[in-house]
Amino acid sequence: MLCTSPTKFWKKGFGPIFFYTGNEGDIWTFAQNSGFIFELAEEQQALVIFAEHRYYGKSLPFGLESTQPKKTGLLTVEQALADYAVLITEIKQQYGAADCPVIAFGGSYGGMLSAYMRMKYPNIVAGALAASAPLLSVAGLGDPTQFFRDVTADFQKSSPGCVPAVRKAFQQLEDLFLSGAYDEISSKMATCNKISNKEDVYQLFGFARNAFTMMAMMNYPYKTDFMGHLPANPVKVSCEQILAHTDPIQGLAALVGVFYNSSGLAQCYDIYQLYQSCADPTGCGVGPDAEAWDYQVCTEINLAFSSNNVTDMFPEMPFTEAMREQYCGRKWHVRPRAHWLQINFWGGDLKSASNIIFSNGDLDPWAGGGINSSLSPSLIALTVRGGAHHLDLRGHNPADPPSVTQVRKLEASIINSWVKAAGMERAQERRPGASALSMSIPTASSLPVRLPLQ
């Protein structure tokens, strides 16, 4: 397991430890897109640790064979959390940081893990910031139509004419498919290889839907290179593309190009190379990390979302539990544990936890599957108005909406209070009086025993 450990802000032996629970990818990607943690570390004199999740990035237990079906058994949420617990314990020992409180940070799946760390290892982690963490939907508690409905809503908010244009483009593609006009589909959608059957059309629909998903998630008010090279406000830019075309299908091709062809240099789309269908309808990405994530969503993590062309603008593409079970059995020879996260990590019954911030952006399609109302004085839900996927974890930018600046200040204040409370608690534990008090409590063996009369 790789970890990065910037120490330049740390007040050695006293400052807190900010620990990022790595997601489903190379840890450097997340470190480069989580500037808020470094800004806060400078302010609170913290040690920053970014830990890479097993089976992702360079943390491959079996090298290039790690995602072979017989080598994936150690890829679980529980094992990843145990890795982080061991790493924190070792770092505290090596850095002379035994009394330094640990705050877990994470976004998306990493946000789930940061919350789980606080829930499972409260003796190690004093608090957690779980940004854009879909804790309910991944536990199978969400509405299967929610995700693509909310993607659609993002595009509708951006431009009222966008959604009707998208619907029209998909309907025309459907009509061309039913009439067997594969050449026209291929030409207008600029596919590298000719669309020639129903499977190709379904792949094309998934490929296109994935572009909408990614742009809704990454709908930041400035240019980014996180999970793709995107312009500022990509939802707005992509809507402008489809509305600028008189032909709806060619407009759709231009729209998806905002995500798939940011350089403008690609002459065509290789729809099988650019998008891999998997057990996550919101997209697994491509490459080895995508394979590892596919396995995780085939075992513990539930993402059975469907588009239906009624509550959303996409073609009807169901993905039921039965379909998931069939796919996962064929691909990985496993059966999904549909209710495991509800049992192991409490599902929606989180009230007995403490010291977790659940932040969500109202532009983020994942927000609907997360915690959006505070559950107790220490289980705090924060909403970033005008914010996409874990915008609050990103560093300050002049284009930030006012809401994210306010949310970050509130997060900083809450985290500071947790750090101080943990420090005071540790100090009390070390006072001689406290240990003497505990020693004075009579044990069962020291209590007087009254013998029965003979």
* Residue whose token pair is 């893990």: 113
For residue 403, indicate whether it is catalytic.
no
Annotated catalytic residue: which of 34, 59, 66, 108? 108
Annotated catalytic residue: which of 294, 364, 392, 400? 364
In angstroms, rounded to a whole number, what is the distance separating the alpha carbons of residues 117 and 82? 9
Show contacts of 65-69: CB within 8 Å, 24+ apart.
66/288, 66/292, 67/288, 67/291, 67/292, 67/295, 69/332, 69/333
CA atoms within 13 Å, Cβ hemisphere of 168: 14
Annotated catalytic residue: which of 34, 389, 392, 400? 389
Query: Which tokens is 292 given?
Result: 């590892």
User: Is residue 197 exposed (0-12), middle (13-18) or buried (19+ Cβ within 10 Å)?
Assistant: exposed
CA atoms within 13 Å, Cβ hemisphere of 170: 25
Can you give the C-alpha Rg of the chain in angstroms?
Answer: 25
In angstroms, rounded to a whole number, what is the distance separating the alpha carbons of residues 289 and 294? 9
Residue type, 384: V
In angstroms, rounded to a whole number, what is the distance separating the alpha carbons of residues 422 and 107? 23
3-state helix, strand, coil in the chain (%, to 5): 45, 10, 45
For residue 389, indicate whether it is catalytic.
yes
Query: Which tokens is 149 given?
Result: 């409905």
Active-site amino acid positions: 108, 364, 389
